[in-house]
Structure 1
Amino acid sequence: MSQRMRRLGIALAIIACGVALRLGGYEIGLPYFLVKYGGSTLWGGMVFFLFATLLPRQPLGRLAILSVVAATLIEFTRLYHTPWLDEFRLTLAGALLLGRIFSWWNIVAYAVGIVIAGLLENRHLARVSRLPG
């Protein structure tokens, strides 16, 4: 499997986990903090792996910086309101992609997710580079 496809698969798996957490987290008794910020942490990891898919030759540090900047900019779009944008935010897709209200804590959670994703990708790449052949 190519590196690009593996990274895209990880991003898609993270999306599935985030949707499952948001839609079923409370129903299975998970605490608010875990559902709210776990989803944001997963979202940050997804942003990292999407950038890694699109820019496979970039160093991990650069991917992390791009991811934090993009996630932060998207969070700041929550401060901008128009009727059509607010209507979109009320849909499931809008809530998952853009969110509804601005929070500095979301930016922290995104950064945590991006750091975790970057560290896991670094660990994977180090293991692969040690394999024979």
Structure 2
Amino acid sequence: MLVISFGLFSRKIAYQLPEQVNLYLGDSLWALMIFLITGFIFNKTPTFQILAIAIFFCYMVELSQLYHADWIDNIRNTTLGGLILGYVFLWSDILAYSIGVGFGAIFEKLISKR
């Protein structure tokens, strides 16, 4: 819930953030949320496999943005649909997803060593 809150908050204060931070922060937090949800669902699965599942999911959502039909664009035009599916394919989102999922995996490894 904390990551979701930070992600939504980052959209509210986007105009106050530096351009490079604004470009990656929201999408990185979204990908971190996907990593955490995946880890929660598959809690006995090794971190690397969670990373692979989460990054695959994130990349597929981004690639789905290349497809435009009325039915999916109508979903994207809703608040929840836009937050989950996004609107337009961007290479910078691929990088942001990698950062978010990578941060989650590194953080989990550091925590699990304790």
Give the unaligned 5+ runs of structure 1.
1-11, 128-133
Structure 1 segments of 4 or more deviating over 6 A? none
% identity of equivalent residues = 29
Considering Cα pairs closer than 8 Å and 6+ residues apart, tell me whether 1 or 2 has the greater RCO: 2
Matches within 5 A, 1:1-133: 12-26=1-15, 29-127=16-114
Unaligned runs of 5+ in 2: none
State the secondary structure of the residue aligned to 2:31.
helix
User: Quick one: distance in 2 between partners of 1:36 and 1:16?
Assistant: 18
In the TM superposition, residue 80 of structure 1 has moved relative to its aligned partner by 1.2
Q: Which amino acid is 2:80 matched to? A: A
The offset of 1:94, in angstroms, is 1.8
Quote how far apart the aligned CAs of 1:91 are.
Answer: 2.4
Structure having the higher Rg: 1
| 3-state SS, counterpart of residue 79 of structure 1 | coil
Distance apart, 1:92 and its partner CA: 2.1
Aligned AA (1:17):
F
Match of 1:6 in 2: none
Letter in 2 for 1:14: V
In structure 2, what residue type is equivalent to 1:25? A
Distance 1:17 1:90, change over 3 A: same
Residue in structure 2 matched with residue 3 of structure 1 by the alignment: none
Q: Quick one: which amino acid aligns to residue 49 of structure 1? A: L
Normalising by structure 1, what TM-score?
Answer: 0.80
Question: What is the CA–CA distance in structure 1 between the aligned matches of 2:20 and 2:26, rounded to whole Å?
Answer: 10
Deviations 1:76-106 (A, max 9, x none): 1101112121122122212211110001210
Q: Partners of 1:96 and 1:33 in 2: how far apart?
A: 20
Q: What is the number of residues matched between the two proteins? A: 114
Partners in 1 of 2:79 and 2:19 — Cα distance? 18
Tell me by how many angstroms 1:113 deviates.
0.7
